[in-house]
């Protein structure tokens, strides 16, 4: 014990205490340095993940809107032909709506494909490609009636499209519209 009543440590205990204090100080400084070094990467990784999720949501909404619009238009076209609602007055808006929806979908087909490649997986891309095959088949069936649409809507040679031609087209359009709905729902479910 020292003169002041405080026990004196042996020189060895002092060295051990000093080493412990310095080691813990250096260890904390080292960890802070490491975290500082990698914090930029961690922050960038988090930002990228959040931006990716935000972009994926926006792109999903756009794709879902265009797919839904086309499917609705395709089903409406099928219904009009099925019920023989094919007068010039009925066909004008129907054809315009169908052409707008197919043009929007087809014009963005490769954009959607690129989005899916970037933000989703190969399975979702395969579903998109399958949906687009259904779109192309349905569109071909609609185009098979172009001459009938022209007779009613443009040249006004007929009051309605030929029921026989309508029936032939419906043999493709009705199952085609059902396939569009099934493939579209499968695609949007897979992407969501």
- What are the boundaries of each domain within the chain? 55-191
d(CA 17, CA 103): 78
d(CA 65, CA 124): 17
Q: How confident is the prediction for the chain on average, in pLDDT?
A: 87
Q: What are phi and psi of 32, to 5 degrees?
A: -65, -40
Q: Which CATH class is domain 55-191?
A: mainly alpha
Q: Is the pLDDT of residue 3 over 60?
A: no
**Could you read off the pLDDT of 120-151 as tens digits, one per residue?**
889 999 999 999 999 999 999 999 999 999 99
Q: What are phi and psi of 118, to 5 degrees?
A: -80, -40
Alpha helices of 83-162 — where are they, by DSSP H?
Answer: 88-107, 109-119, 122-143, 146-153
pLDDT tier at 26, thresholds 50, 70, 90: confident
**Could you read off the pLDDT of 30-86 as tens digits, one per residue?**
777 777 777 666 666 666 655 666 677 889 999 999 999 999 999 999 999 999 999
Predicted TM-score (pTM) of the model is 0.73
């Amino acid at each position: 014990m020292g003169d002041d009543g405080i026990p004196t440590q042996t020189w060895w205990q002092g060295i051990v205490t000093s080493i412990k204090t310095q080691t813990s100080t250096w260890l904390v400084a080292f960890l802070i340095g490491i975290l500082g070094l990698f914090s930029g990467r961690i922050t960038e990784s988090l930002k990228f993940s959040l931006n990716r999720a935000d972009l994926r949501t926006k792109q999903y909404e756009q794709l879902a809107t265009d797919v839904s619009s086309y499917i609705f238009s395709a089903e409406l076209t099928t219904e009009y032909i099925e019920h023989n609602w094919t007068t010039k007055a009925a066909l004008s808006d129907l054809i315009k709506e169908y052409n707008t929806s197919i043009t929007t979908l087809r014009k963005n087909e490769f954009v959607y494909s690129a989005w899916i490649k970037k933000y989703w997986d190969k399975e979702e891309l395969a579903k998109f490609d399958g949906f687009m095959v259904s779109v192309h088949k349905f569109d071909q069936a609609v185009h098979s009636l172009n001459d009938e649409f022209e007779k009613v809507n443009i040249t006004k040679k007929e009051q309605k499209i030929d029921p026989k031609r309508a029936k032939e087209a419906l043999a493709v359009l009705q199952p085609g519209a059902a396939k569009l709905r099934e493939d579209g729902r499968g695609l949007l479910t897979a992407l969501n």
